[in-house]
Amino acid sequence: MLNFILDVEIFFNVAKCTERILSASIFIPERRVLEMSLVTVNPEEIVFPNVLNQEAVFILKVSNVSSSPVAFKVKTTAPKNYLVKPSAGAIPGNGSIDIKITLNKQTTDPSANNDRFLVQAVKAPNGKELSKEEWSAIDKSSIQELRLHVVFTNQPSSAGAPSSVGPSPAAVPLDKSASADQVRAKYDELVSYSKRLEGELESTKSQLKKKSSSSVAVGGSGFSTLQLIIAMILAVIVARVATIMGY
């Protein structure tokens, strides 16, 4: 019985020591990421049209807000889906650069992906782009980072926004919409013109009814004056419709 109690006590002591060892071994200090103070990124969200089998372009503007040169690098979680130019380089003091991000043709719904971009910046004393080896040698705590999410939308980007969607499928619906607006405008103009003619026709009928000779035939042809006026008005309407519709 005594041996059993000793075995149990030894077991609990070993368990406690093991727990302390494991706790010490898995402790990883959290990496401190510096906020962006060297550059600004505009916008801080990457927006693409949600389309298939067509490329789309987004412009990301990175500006150096310091007076010294800054090296930058752009990474993505989906390098096969995007083409970034330039993906790295140097920006002179108070300068800026436009980064062209091209979404490659997608065969599946791109909005199902949780794609992200990472912009990194660090001081560049020599004012030149840093090599891969130089980036690796830099103390990670001195690198400033900004993470950007990719958003896919069915709505085209608004004109004048900092971001821009270049020659892309988003422009196709815009052209179709513009054509529909033009047809609608012509239709409204035609309806308005027709109503005006109807009013003039009713006025003419009223005037003719007041005349005692409204049913007198012209030239023995059997047509009344009222019928001839109506025929003339219809001819004007047909000519106006042809003009409006571009015939």
Q: If you write DSSP's letter for every residue of 93-156 in order, what string do you get?
A: TT-EEEEEEEEPP-SS-GGGS--EEEEEEEE-TT-SPPPHHHHHHS-GGG-EEEEEEEEEESSP
Q: Which residues contact residue 51 at a Cβ distance below 8 angstroms, ignoring those fewer than 6 apart?
A: 106, 168, 169, 170
66-89 pLDDT per residue, tens: 999 999 999 999 999 999 999 999
Half-sphere exposure of 209 (CA within 13 A, CB side): 6
Architecture of domain 39-169: Sandwich (2.60)
Q: Report the share of the chain in percent with pLDDT over 90.
A: 44
Q: Per-residue pLDDT for 6 more than 70?
A: no
Per-residue pLDDT band at 232 (split at 50, 70, 90): confident
Q: Which residues contact residue 75 at a Cβ distance below 8 angstroms, ignoring those fewer than 6 apart?
A: 87, 117, 118, 120
107-132 pLDDT per residue, tens: 999 999 899 999 999 999 889 999 99
Q: Name the more confident of 161 and 96.
A: 96
Q: Distance (Å, rounded) from C-alpha 162 to C-alpha 167?
A: 16
**pTM of the complete model:** 0.51
- Averaged pLDDT of the chain: 73
Per-residue pLDDT band at 211 (split at 50, 70, 90): low
